[in-house]
Amino acid sequence: MRQLRTDFPFEDAIFNRSAEEPTPKISVVIPVYNKAAAIQTTLESVTSQKLSVPFEIVVVDDGSRDQSGEIIRDLAQTDARIRYFFQENTGVSAARNYGVKQARGEWVVFLDADDLFLPGGLQELYQATTPPAYTTDIDFACANFLTHGGKPFLPKMKAQIITNGFRAWVLRLFFPRTGTFIFRRAQALKFPFDTKLKRYEDAKFLFDYFRTRKPIATSPVPVMIYREEFCTESKARDFEQDFLCELNFFGKSFWEKLALGGLLATGIRTYGPSVREHYIDFLIWAKFHEILRVLVRMQNSVLKRIAYLSRLLDHL
């Protein structure tokens, strides 16, 4: 059995590239933990991207004990854009945070180690940061993605500017997940992932950003494939390591409460009656969210009424 290598520095010296290489505009940050079965095709989906600006791939190996590290280092030897880092196992949040700190690009894209970029996906994300006829700076842009069977996750997603991320989340106007959004690095440093959390840490990250009310650009074009065959949906070992444990409804806007209600409904389905008892005073928001989700699936006439109602409630 291969022994875990621990004698090399945090970044392997052979992968410190020449300063003559162009400064990357985009950094794709990929945390890896025991993904030997998927990481090569994931990296190849990134290295094959055709982009109008330079980009790099920052891979943070979170203490893998399979062949992940060897696969990544072999690929890095033939592609200078791949930068490999190793850390003892401290979790995906810490790996992403370290990747952001090491990134040299103005923009950061997070990608899971078992998902795939579609051809042209990275260019589409970059172009989404400069929407036509919009003069305000964009710090965050989000696109669509494909699920199992090659179907767009949001078939009716539109190109638009979103000013209330919570409302857009609840109404399924967009659905940012790792691999579908691009984030200005300066903002990513302000909103690190919570290293205490082992599940739904990405939701907390996004909700923290939504609270700024900064404009978000969206594109209906799918940019990546979410590979469900590699997904291992599981509970956190400890409920306290799940963002569902620390949902805070106090002082939040109407739409944030609805978004939190959606997570609460998920928590009840995942953990059972204990979550219901934990949030007994806020169950109404979970019920309201589920009713609204049903309405969203209905006809356009209903959606127009919801959109009108959402504008009325936007300032609550």
**pLDDT of 148:** 75
Residue 304 pLDDT more than 60? yes
Residue 232 pLDDT more than 50? yes
**pLDDT of 62:** 97
Average pLDDT on 191-216 reads 95
Average model confidence (pLDDT) across the chain: 87
**pLDDT of 308:** 61
**pLDDT of 241:** 86
Query: Which string of b and e fits 219-252 if b means at least 16 CB within 10 Å?
Result: bebbbbbbbeeeeeeeebeebebbbbbebeeeeb
Residue 7 pLDDT more than 50? no
Q: Is the dihedral of CA 283, 285, 289, 295 positive or negative?
A: positive
Q: Please, which pLDDT band fits residue 198 given cuts at 50, 70 and 90?
A: confident
8-12, 89-93, 117-121, 142-146: segment of lowest average pLDDT: 8-12
- Burial tier of 102 (Cβ tally within 10 Å: 0-12, 13-18, 19+): middle
28-42, 81-95, 166-180, 287-301: segment of lowest average pLDDT: 287-301
